[in-house]
Amino acid sequence: MSSISFTFKHFYRAFLLVAGLAIWSISANAQTDATKGEAIFKAKCTACHAIDKQVIGPALGPQLTKETDDKWLVKWIQNNQALMAAKDKKAMDIYNQFNQAGMTVFTDLSDADAGNIITYVRAAYKDIQDKAKAAPATAAVEQGPSMLIVYALVGVIILALIVILVLNKVVKTLDNLVATKPEILVAPAAVDTTPVDKYATIKRLAKNKKFVFFVLLCVSIAGGSWTWVSLWNTNVHTGYQPVQPIKYPHDLHAGAMQIKCQYCHSGAYKSKNASIPSLNVCMNCHKVIDRRKDATEPSTEIAKIYTAIGFDPKTQKYDSTLARPVQWVRIHNLPDFAYFNHSQHVTVGKIECTTCHGPVQSMKEMYQYSPLTMKWCIQCHKRTEINYKGNAYYEKMEAVHELLRKGGKVTEAQMGGIECGKCHY
């Protein structure tokens, strides 16, 4: 028995070492995600950059492959202006190399987001290089381990650890029993027919005050955590994607066709609400376009627009008596006590629509991308820098403050008191 116990002890230590290394390896490989990086790259970077060719900015594949300091790259992606202001040598070299053309600042990206972009660009560039070499086997882009596999592996490791601990405890118990009562190794003369109490162990544990306290503590912590998370996420509808009466593919209009958001949501740059476009806006194009380019039959979704507006595609005429409003389902909905003005963010703050609404150009159907909580808004306000130069709103406020310093007369109208949004919600 002692030899078995000795063997289990060594196996147990070796297993813990291997399990620890496995978990560390998984976490190390899963730090960045090329898939998430691809989505962010398409939303933020494709206007100026491509992987393997120069557009407005340089080809990112060769640049990020050559530069191996990921921490510096993350700082460059988030705020290259700060690096140049600090006279960083690498930043100044890039600035001078590309004719002193400034790059957009992305302070809304976290370190993880920037790392995901770097991982995606390097993997995509490696894939392009491998295809160009016409190798027999195409190298797959490293995506990192599947989270399902990671969870399964961790579960197997934990289960195996529990089994080893139980077996080790059993071996120790047998060793102690043999050492104290060696006579039990001799076969009993007769079978003991005394009834066994199946609940003896449970009764013994129920009398153990330390065990009962530990169980109650665990239940209290678990219940409190569940309650806290449930209350914290009340009315937070991240990922909410209702079924709309007409399936409007944003990936086709905003993505493939590159139609600007304000073409349809014209209120975003001049009022509090972004506004839902009327069907007349849709008919600017769909009066002559009734199907996809490669389709042989008219689109059923476009036909719904014709029905709602009372349009006959055969006669190209409208009948207002047949028109019916489309009952769109609201997706982004703030509480009544929260005031949000689109024009202040889009026109004054120069904030991109994708900052709040996510990669709309890749969404087949619109859904709520951001949590829209107060904490989320405050974090954005803390990290977003204001460029007041050339901005009429901030120049006006600066003039008002200068007048106040000189002791001049300032009216409520000069402070924006006659703007519609001050009274009309």
Top pLDDT among 185 and 271 is at 271
For residue 26, is it within any domain? no
Task: Quick: pLDDT tens for 368-416.
Answer: 999 999 999 999 999 888 777 777 777 888 888 888 888 888 888 877 7
Task: Quick: pLDDT tens for 132-166.
Answer: 775 444 434 444 455 677 778 888 888 888 888 88
Task: Please indicate, yes or no, whether residues 264 and 363 belong to a single structural domain of this protein.
Answer: yes
Maximum CA extent, the chain:
112
Task: Please indicate, yes or no, whether residues 338 and 409 belong to a single structural domain of this protein.
Answer: no
| Residue 110 confidence class, pLDDT cut points 50, 70, 90 | confident
| Residue 362 confidence class, pLDDT cut points 50, 70, 90 | very high
What is the pTM (predicted TM-score) of this model?
0.46
Q: What is the pLDDT of residue 29?
A: 44
For residue 356, is it within any domain? yes
Task: Please indicate, yes or no, whether residues 59 and 107 belong to a single structural domain of this protein.
Answer: yes
Please, which residues have CB within 8 angstroms of residue 312's CB and are 6 or more apart in sequence? Answer: 306, 318, 319
C-alpha angle 304-309-311 in degrees, rounded to nearest 5: 85
For residue 206, is it within any domain? no
Q: What is the pLDDT of residue 140?
A: 40
Top pLDDT among 57 and 22 is at 57
Task: Please indicate, yes or no, whether residues 263 and 343 belong to a single structural domain of this protein.
Answer: yes
Among the three residues 132, 164, 194, which one is the final residue of a domain in this structure? 132
For residue 278, is it within any domain? yes
For the record, the structure tokens of 275 come out as 């506004």
Please, which residues have CB within 8 angstroms of residue 174's CB and are 6 or more apart in sequence? Answer: 1
For residue 147, is it within any domain? no
Beta bridge partners of 312: 317
Cβ burial of 45 (10 Å; 0-12, 13-18, 19+) is buried
Task: Please indicate, yes or no, whether residues 327 and 409 belong to a single structural domain of this protein.
Answer: no
Q: What is the pLDDT of residue 186?
A: 59
Closest CA to 357 of 336, 326, 337, 331: 331
Q: What share of the chain is helix, strand, coil (3-state, %, to 5)?
A: 55, 0, 40
First-to-last C-alpha distance (Å) of the chain: 81
Alpha-carbon span 359 to 367, nearest angstrom:
10
Task: Please indicate, yes or no, whether residues 304 and 396 belong to a single structural domain of this protein.
Answer: no
Task: Please indicate, yes or no, whether residues 362 and 396 belong to a single structural domain of this protein.
Answer: no
Q: What is the pLDDT of residue 22?
A: 54
| Residue 24 confidence class, pLDDT cut points 50, 70, 90 | low
For residue 194, is it within any domain? no
For the record, the structure tokens of 170 come out as 């059993």
Domain count, the chain: 3
Task: Please indicate, yes or no, whether residues 396 and 324 belong to a single structural domain of this protein.
Answer: no
Task: Please indicate, yes or no, whether residues 335 and 268 belong to a single structural domain of this protein.
Answer: yes
Task: Please indicate, yes or no, whether residues 357 and 406 belong to a single structural domain of this protein.
Answer: no
| Residue 329 confidence class, pLDDT cut points 50, 70, 90 | very high
Among the three residues 132, 163, 180, which one is the final residue of a domain in this structure? 132
Q: Are 76 and 91 in contact (CB under 8 A)?
A: yes
For the record, the structure tokens of 241 come out as 């994607």
Domain that holds residue 413: 392-422
For residue 364, is it within any domain? yes
What is the amino acid identity at position 277? P
**DSSP per residue over 276-334, as a string?**
PPPHHHHHHHHTT--S-TT-SS--HHHHHHHHHHTEETTTTEE-GGG-----PPP----
Among the three residues 132, 154, 178, which one is the final residue of a domain in this structure? 132
Task: Please indicate, yes or no, whether residues 399 and 361 belong to a single structural domain of this protein.
Answer: no
Task: Please indicate, yes or no, whether residues 323 and 400 belong to a single structural domain of this protein.
Answer: no
For residue 125, is it within any domain? yes
DSSP code of residue 184 = G
Distances (CA, A) of 409 to 304, 402, 403, 406: 58, 11, 7, 9
